[in-house]
């Protein structure tokens, strides 16, 4: 039975109508069952791979639905968006495909790869402002001056209905669906999905996940309305939103059962898990839902539940990816840096490296220091970065170092 009330921005009918508009233009992304993740989490885990969309994220669903609803006059004037990444590419791709002019305002610090991709999809890109807020203000100014239509990345009913088409697909792909875990930025994705699922199967649990550095929806729920929180940086830049949407918030308040947060190391670990074990590339925002499940953050999903996890995007800068992989290895105990004191004499380093070799750790970097860290004359300190098999091997190595009389400490 439908739960819709007339004072909510969208209902199930809006999501179903959006699906008809999107039909044939949006990839019906797969949702495979993961035996490995199911074993780790105690759930029956299914990964909804929105990172496989043409532009690498779910954002093009909402963008296309909004574009498809333009009047002929609006389409002739063109569309404007402010974005540093996924929304920009979604608007650019689908507007250009329909012969509609797209102007995208991006912050000056936007990585070149994202600027190039957006231009490659046919949009005119303007770089303006030190952050999203300044880019947004410039986009609105240009929009008003040129009589164009602004397409908001999340706080728009049509955009939210477009994102909600994922919920309809999940209901088809997982007939036994009992829970869905969704990243939250401004609330457009979870608002649409929750509407589609809760109005079809009200008993299915909907859990939202935010980065602990920017928990804007958590703050909105606590305040019973959107509030602006302090800026912060996060590897989950796709959901780095300082203020929840005023259009999306009522949907979250009505339909979402729980909102949890994950920290940077937990996100990095989830990215590494997806890449290494599932052969799936996810950006920071795209891995937050899995991070919450792996860290057992949610309290409303029963053990063994058939649970869909949104991998909502895969657009990640390769330089950032390399840092995230390294951070994830450290978090998992597979990379460690030790500061070890030893005598500054011939053979001392050879003895140390032989001990490390016997415990099958791989040295990837070393740094000698004789003048800092309170080193005595005649001694030296060496920082050694090593690859290991995990925490158990690290503990064995530390015990062996202590047994041989080496003074050591972890470098964090």
pLDDT in tens, 110-124: 878 788 999 999 999
**Strand order from edge to edge, sheet including 379-387:** 362-369, 379-387, 335-343, 407-410
- Look at residue 165 and tell me whether its pLDDT is greater than 90: yes
Residue 109 contacts residue 136 (beta carbons within 8 Å): no
Average pLDDT on 343-352 reads 87
Please report which confidence band the pLDDT of residue 7 belongs to, taking 50, 70 and 90 as the band edges: confident
Distance of alpha carbon 170 from alpha carbon 306, whole angstroms: 11
Local confidence band at 375 (pLDDT 50, 70, 90 cut-offs): low
Residue 84, pLDDT score? 76
Q: What confidence tier does 131 reach under pLDDT thresholds 50, 70, 90?
A: confident
Q: Per the structure block, which two tokens stand in for 1?
A: 């039975």
CA distance linking residue 312 with residue 51, whole number of Å:
6
pLDDT at residue 283 above 80? Answer: yes
Residue spans of alpha helices (H) in 224-332: 249-255, 264-277, 284-294, 318-331
Region 85-90: mean pLDDT is 92
pLDDT at residue number 361: 92
User: Which residue ranges make up each domain of the chain?
Assistant: 12-58+157-328, 79-147, 334-410
Residues 6+ apart with CB under 8 A from 172: none
Residue-level length of the chain: 412
List residues bridging with 338 in a β-sheet. 384, 410
Distance CA 133, CA 138 (A): 9
Fold of 79-147: Rossmann fold (3.40.50)
pLDDT above 70 (res 4): no
- Compute the average pLDDT of residues 112-138: 90
Q: Which of 59-63, 132-136, 395-399, 402-406 has the highest mean pLDDT?
A: 59-63
CATH topology agreement for domains 12-58+157-328 and 79-147 = yes
Bridge partners, residue 387, by sequence: 335, 362
Q: Comparing C-alpha atoms, which of 320, 321, 363, 160 is closest to residue 252?
A: 160
291-328 pLDDT, tens digit per residue, is: 999 999 999 999 999 999 999 999 988 888 888 888 77
Tell me the mean pLDDT in the region 191-218: 98
- Class for the domain spanning 334-410: alpha beta
Q: Do residues 235 and 268 lie in contact, with contact meaning Cβ atoms separated by under 8 Å?
A: yes
CATH ID of 12-58+157-328, from 3.40.50.300, 3.40.50.1100, 3.40.50.1980, 3.40.47.40: 3.40.50.1100
Q: What is the pLDDT of residue 312?
A: 96
Return mean pLDDT, the chain: 92
pLDDT of 25? 96
CA distance 133 to 60: 21
Q: In the chain, pLDDT over 70 holds for what percent of residues?
A: 96
pLDDT in tens, 19-67: 999 999 999 999 999 999 999 999 999 999 999 999 999 999 999 999 9
Write down the pLDDT at residue 171: 98
Name the pLDDT band for 378 (thresholds 50, 70, 90): low
131/213 Cα distance (integer angstroms): 17
């Amino acid at each position: 039975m439908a739960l819709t009330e007339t004072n909510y921005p969208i209902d199930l009918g809006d999501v179903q109508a959006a699906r008809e508009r999107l039909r044939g233009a949006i990839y019906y992304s797969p949702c495979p069952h993961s035996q490995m993740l199911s074993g780790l989490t105690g759930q029956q885990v299914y990964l909804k791979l929105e990172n496989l969309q043409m532009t690498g994220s779910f954002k093009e669903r909402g963008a296309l639905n909004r574009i498809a609803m333009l009047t002929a006059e609006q389409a002739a004037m063109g569309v404007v968006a402010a974005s540093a990444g996924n929304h920009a590419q979604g608007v650019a791709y689908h507007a250009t495909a329909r012969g509609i002019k797209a102007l995208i305002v991006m912050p000056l610090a936007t990585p070149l790869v994202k600027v190039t991709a957006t231009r490659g999809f046919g949009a005119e890109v303007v770089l303006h402002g030190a952050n999203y807020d300044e880019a947004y203000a410039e986009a609105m100014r240009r929009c008003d001056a040129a009589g164009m239509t602004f397409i908001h990345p999340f706080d728009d009913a049509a955009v939210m209905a477009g994102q909600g088409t994922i919920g309809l697909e999940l209901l088809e792909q997982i007939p036994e669906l009992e829970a869905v875990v969704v990243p939250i930025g401004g609330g457009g994705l979870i608002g649409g999905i929750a509407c589609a699922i809760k109005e079809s199967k009200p008993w299915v649990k909907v859990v939202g996940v935010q980065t602990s550095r920017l928990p804007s929806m958590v703050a909105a729920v606590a305040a019973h309305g959107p509030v602006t929180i302090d800026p912060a940086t996060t590897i989950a830049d796709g959901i780095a939103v300082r203020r929840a949407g005023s259009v999306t918030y009522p949907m979250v308040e009505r339909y979402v059962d729980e909102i949890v947060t994950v920290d940077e190391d937990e996100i990095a670990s989830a990215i590494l898990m997806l890449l290494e074990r599932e052969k799936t590339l996810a950006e920071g925002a795209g891995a937050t839902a899995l991070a919450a499940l792996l860290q057992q953050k949610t309290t409303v999903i029963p053990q063994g539940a058939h649970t869909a996890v949104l991998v909502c995007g895969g657009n990640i800068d390769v330089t950032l990816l390399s840092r995230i992989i390294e951070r994830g290895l450290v978090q998992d105990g597979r990379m460690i840096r030790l500061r070890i004191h030893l005598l500054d004499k011939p053979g001392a380093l050879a003895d140390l490296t032989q001990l490390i070799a016997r415990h099958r750790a791989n040295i990837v970097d070393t740094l000698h220091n004789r003048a800092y860290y309170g080193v005595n004359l005649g001694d030296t300190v060496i920082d050694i970065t090593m690859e290991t098999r995990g925490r158990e091997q690290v503990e064995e190595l530390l015990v062996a170092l202590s047994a041989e009389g080496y003074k050591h400490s972890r470098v964090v």
